[in-house]
């Protein structure tokens, strides 16, 4: 999170504390799980570790923040991002006029 990630999720599954297999989930920040932005915002990795009591599976997901230059994250903004533009000044007419439509 300190290096610019928007969110992170780590899932450790297997024989963690006892004889029975469990899964522990650790989450921090914002993480999207569905839709097309998952493909270009979330990086995923899966690794397996052989321990004396059995195999542990580790899944890591990191959601990168939007970067307009495309160096630290995707160029596309999230679809739910709202941009408010500045209001344009309206030019008021100085004299009344009419349009003749024939």
Whether 74 is covered by a domain: the verdict is no
Q: Which of 17, 36, 44, 48 is nearest to 78 (CA)?
A: 36
Q: pLDDT digits over 29-49, tens only?
A: 999 999 898 998 999 999 999
Q: Which two tokens stand for residue 85?
A: 């533009």
Q: How confident is the model at residue 102 (pLDDT cuts 50, 70, 90)?
A: low
Please state the domain count of the chain: 1
**pTM value?**
0.72
DSSP characters over 25-89? EEEEE----SSTHHHHHEEEEEEEEEETTEEEEEEEEEEEPP-TTSSSS-SSPPTT---PPPPPP
- Cα dihedral 43, 49, 53, 54 sign: positive
CATH number at residue 43: 3.30.1140.32
- If you average pLDDT over residues 86-100, what whole number do you get? 81
Query: Could you tell me the residue range of the domain that residue 31 belongs to?
Result: 5-64
């Amino acid at each position: 999170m300190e290096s610019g990630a928007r969110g992170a999720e780590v899932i450790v599954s297997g024989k963690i504390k006892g004889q029975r297999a469990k899964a522990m989930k650790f989450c921090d920040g914002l993480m999207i799980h569905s839709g097309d932005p998952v493909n270009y915002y979330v990086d995923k990795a899966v690794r397996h570790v052989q321990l004396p009591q059995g195999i542990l599976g580790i899944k890591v997901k990191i959601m990168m923040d939007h970067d307009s230059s495309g160096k630290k994250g995707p160029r596309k903004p999230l679809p739910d991002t709202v941009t408010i533009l500045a209001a344009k000044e309206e030019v008021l007419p100085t004299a009344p006029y009419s349009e003749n439509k024939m």
